[in-house]
Amino acid sequence: MKKWYAVIGDPIAQSMSPDMHETWFRDNGISASYIPIHVKADELEIAVTSLKRLGCNGWNVTVPHKTAIIPYIDKLDETARRMNAVNTVKVLEDGTLYGMNTDGQGFVRSLQEEYELGETIGDVLVIGAGGAASGISFALEEAGIGPITFTNRTFEKALQISLGFSSGSALSFKDAELAISKFGLIVQTTSVGMNFAQSGIPLNPSGITEGTIVADIIYNPLETEFLRLSRESGGKILNGVGMFVHQGALSFKLWTGVTPDTRKMIQSISTKLGGN
Ligand code: ATR
């Protein structure tokens, strides 16, 4: 039987995952489909039951279900357990639902694809203290990148998240701005600057040292104001397209065993978004 996959979320119409996975299926000669399914928060349980009954082979999970789906998952891998969030489900042969999370590793791969990451990268500043910040930080730690300092609008949350990391520490936005020149990698994980709806910057990156790598997980717009200021201050910048593509590529590999072409996909999505 033809295999099929899905992405569930609310909203879902804007998701670029269906196009991306359908392209990869086609390019790799795999007979399968991938569809977006709009699932509201109070419909999650029935959605999971239905996907299983209808023979779905696996699905991606996006906002707002990444944590809420956990009670309906049979087995979690270590990353999903540690993050308390699932973005990829694989339905095993015996019907077991296996939950994984490829977001953090997706970020690290996109970083590694773009820039040489030696030990010279030094201190890392993560802006934000939500799900994205923790996933990325676990993956950075796993890759041996750090120590990590967290900064967040609500300082208590930065402090809280930092306690989960052996080398973690926390700063207020103001203190992070003052210390910004010491960081070799800065990762912006908040929603500030997304979709042009929330304009502005979480903190001012103008004091960075030239050559600092500055990443923003937002991909629409391709260059947030935070990235623009960082670039103008001598930073090497990275937008969120790579993370999006790589988290998808890791899901694709878990489902099919095939590693898809990420560079071509990043190029194509960037062109599409740049034309907006
Ligand atoms: P995600 O899973 O995408 O990380 P989240 O868990 O809701 O989403 O976390 C959102 C992050 O964006 C938080 O760090 C939040 O800061 P607070 O903890 O202070 O709420 C941050 N954030 C959202 N809007 C912000 C804004 N206007 N200015 C600064 N930080 C903002």
Q: What is the CATH number of the domain that holds 162?
A: 3.40.50.720
Whether 93 and 108 share a structural domain: no
For ligand 1, atom 3, the nearest C-alpha belongs to 132
CA–CA separation, 114 and 108 (whole Å): 10
- The structure tokens listed for 11 are 């909203």
- Whether the per-residue pLDDT at 276 is higher than 60: the answer is no
Whether 179 and 56 share a structural domain: no
Whether 178 and 251 share a structural domain: no
Q: How far is the CA of 34 from the centre of ligand 1 (A)?
A: 30
| Residue 120 pLDDT | 77
Whether 250 and 234 share a structural domain: no
- Distant-in-sequence, close-in-space partners of 93: CB < 8 Å, separation ≥ 6: none
> Would you place residue 92 in the very low, low, confident or very high pLDDT band (cuts 50, 70, 90)?
very high
Determine the straight-line distance between the first and last CA of the chain, rounded to whole angstroms.
38
| Residue 195 pLDDT | 77
Q: What pLDDT digit, counting tens, does each position of 137-173 carry?
A: 999 999 999 999 999 999 999 999 999 998 899 999 9
Q: What is the pTM of this model?
A: 0.95
| Residue 118 pLDDT | 65
* Residue 90 bears catalytic tag: no
| Residue 198 pLDDT | 61
CB 189 within 8 A of CB 169: no
Whether 213 and 123 share a structural domain: yes
Q: Look at residue 16 and give its three-state secondary structure.
A: coil
DSSP 98-156: EEE--HHHHHHHHHHHHS---GGG-EEEEE--SHHHHHHHHHHHHTT---EEEE-SSHH
The CATH number for 17's domain is 3.40.50.10860
- Whether the per-residue pLDDT at 196 is higher than 80: the answer is no
Residue 80 domain boundaries? 3-101+242-272
Whether 89 and 118 share a structural domain: no
Q: Look at residue 264 and give its three-state secondary structure.
A: helix
Average pLDDT, the chain: 95
- Whether the per-residue pLDDT at 197 is higher than 80: the answer is no
Whether 118 and 231 share a structural domain: yes
| Residue 170 pLDDT | 98
For ligand 1, atom 16, the nearest C-alpha belongs to 153
Q: How far is the CA of 261 from the centre of ligand 1 (A)?
A: 32
Whether 91 and 119 share a structural domain: no
Which atom of ligand 1 lies closest to the CA of 127? 14
Whether 170 and 138 share a structural domain: yes
Q: What pLDDT digit, counting tens, does each position of 64-88 carry?
A: 999 999 999 999 999 999 999 999 9
Q: How far is the CA of 192 from the centre of ligand 1 (A)?
A: 8
Q: Is 4 exposed, middle or buried (0-12, 13-18, 19+ CB in 10 A)?
A: middle
Total structural domains in the chain?
Answer: 2
- Distant-in-sequence, close-in-space partners of 94: CB < 8 Å, separation ≥ 6: none
| Residue 144 pLDDT | 92
> Would you place residue 250 in the very low, low, confident or very high pLDDT band (cuts 50, 70, 90)?
very high
Residues of the chain with pLDDT > 70, as a percent, come to 97
DSSP 176-244: HHHTGGGEEEEEE-SSTTGGGTS-S-SS--TTPPTT-EEEES--SSSS-HHHHHHHHTT-EEE-THHHH
Which atom of ligand 1 lies closest to the CA of 134? 4
CA–CA separation, 136 and 83 (whole Å): 10
Whether 121 and 233 share a structural domain: yes
**Residue of 191, 195, 196, 198 to mutate, ligand 1, most atoms within 8 A of C-beta:** 191
CA–CA separation, 129 and 146 (whole Å): 16
Whether 193 and 234 share a structural domain: yes
Residue of 2, 40, 52, 66 marked active site: 66
Whether 135 and 248 share a structural domain: no
